[in-house]
Amino acid sequence: MKPSRDISRLIEIMAALRTPKTGCPWDLEQDFASISPYTIEEAYEVADAIERRDWDDLRDELGDLLLQPIYHARMAQEAGLFDFADVVEGITKKMIRRHPHVFGDEKARSAGMAKGAWEKIKAVEKAEKNHQNNNSENAKKARPSLLDDVPSTLPALQTAVKLQKKASRVGFDWNDTNQVIVKLREELGEVEEAMDSGNKKHIEAEIGDLLFVIANLARHLDIEPDHALRTSNRKFRRRFSHIENKLSDAGTAMEDASLEEMEAIWVEAKLLE
């Protein structure tokens, strides 16, 4: 089988990998649950390539990410659920429906107006879906919540921000950043109290509350907390690598260096930036 610029070839390759007896033993063992972590990982690798502005790497990572819906759709097709064409048809319908200012007679004079139209149409779709679910035999007895469409499978920081944005739309939010700062200090104090208690479950709960408020502060400041943390992670890698290199050049093993020595080199790395 030869490479191609046609996506149909990728679909053919996945079908071959999943063909019993002649396919790849590893691919044949996979299911939705086992592939799901790779889907999330590939999305993060795309984001990382963008942040590094490595366009060659971005091209490769986008290919890896593209493979994921092909993979999931193939497994769904095998189970008689849907196929890749159904996925494409679904998203094209959604994009046309949610952009009446492009594919219809409505007009949007700004990005804000376009986003507002998108949210209104999305809300109508959600109401219709809830109505269908409530009329089905398997309908849940619990009342629908504004937060129902926030996936619990997202990274925790992203989930926190999405929950906060949803609540904010109905006025459940602080009016200014200073109020969030006050709450942040309050939560930090509760972490310290939990530490004094020595109860690990209590400490974990208070750490969670602190992180939730930090995510809220980032949202109020229009900062993406996950992006900010990834930036700090890269900074830590860079400065720690400087410590490793500096100690190696001096013939000192990391295990033999004192914290004071490493801290001094860390400050040096910070100044070099």
DSSP secondary structure of 130-148 = HHHHHHSTT--SSPP-TTT
Q: What confidence category does residue 8 fall into, taking pLDDT thresholds of 50, 70 and 90?
A: very high
Cβ atoms of residues 121 and 94 within 8 Å:
no
3-state secondary structure of 99: coil
Confidence (pLDDT) at 80: 97
Q: What is the largest CA-CA distance in the chain?
A: 73
What percent of the chain is modeled with pLDDT above 90? 70
Closest to 99 in 3D by CA, of 76, 74, 116:
116
User: Is the per-residue pLDDT at 15 higher than 60?
Assistant: yes
**Cα separation, 265 vs 273, whole angstroms:** 13
For residue 138, pLDDT beyond 90? no
Q: For residue range 21-71, what is the model confidence (pLDDT) as tens digits?
A: 999 999 999 999 999 989 989 998 998 899 889 999 999 999 999 999 999
3-class DSSP string for the chain: CCCCCCHHHHHHHHHHHCCCCCCCHHHHHCCHHHHHHHHHHHHHHHHHHHHCCCHHHHHHHHHHHHHHHHHHHHHHHHCCCCCHHHHHHHHHHHHHHCCHHHHCCCCCCCHHHHHHHHHHHHHHHHHHHHHHHHHCCCCCCCCCCCCCCCCCCCCHHHHHHHHHHHHHCCCCCCCCHHHHHHHHHHHHHHHHHHHHHCCHHHHHHHHHHHHHHHHHHHHHCCCCHHHHHHHHHHHHHHHHHHHHHHHHHCCCCHHHCCHHHHHHHHHHHHHHC
- Cα dist from 61 to 18, 57, 64, 68, 72, whole Å: 22, 6, 5, 11, 17
Average pLDDT over residues 156-163: 92
The predicted pLDDT at position 140 comes to 52
- Per-residue pLDDT, 155: 85
pLDDT of res. 109: 79
Residue 244 has pLDDT above 80, yes or no: yes
- Select from 166, 202, 155, 164 the least CA-distant residue to 183: 164
pLDDT, tens only, 142-152: 567 888 888 88
Could you tell me which of 140, 142, 149 has the C-alpha nearest to residue 169?
149
pLDDT band at 106 (very low <50, low <70, confident <90, very high): confident
* pLDDT tier, 137 (very low <50, low <70, confident <90, very high otherwise): low
Q: Is residue 32 within 8 Å of 39, Cβ to Cβ? A: no
pLDDT of residue 119: 79
Mean pLDDT of 157-167: 93
Assign 135 a pLDDT band (cuts: 50, 70, 90): low
Quick one: pLDDT at residue 198? 93
pLDDT of residue 114: 81
pLDDT at 85: 97
- What pLDDT does residue 43 have? 92
* Region of poorest pLDDT, from 63-77, 105-119, 125-139: 125-139
Determine the Cα–Cα distance for residues 227 and 229; give it in Å rounded to an integer.
Answer: 5
Higher pLDDT pick, 121 / 92: 92
Give the pLDDT confidence of 192-243 residue by residue, as tens digits. 999 999 999 999 999 999 999 999 999 999 999 988 998 999 999 999 999 9
Predicted local distance difference test score (pLDDT) of residue 82: 97
What burial class does residue 266 get, using C-beta atoms within 10 Å of its C-beta: 0-12 exposed, 13-18 middle, 19+ buried?
Answer: middle
What is the pLDDT, as a whole number, of residue 108? 77
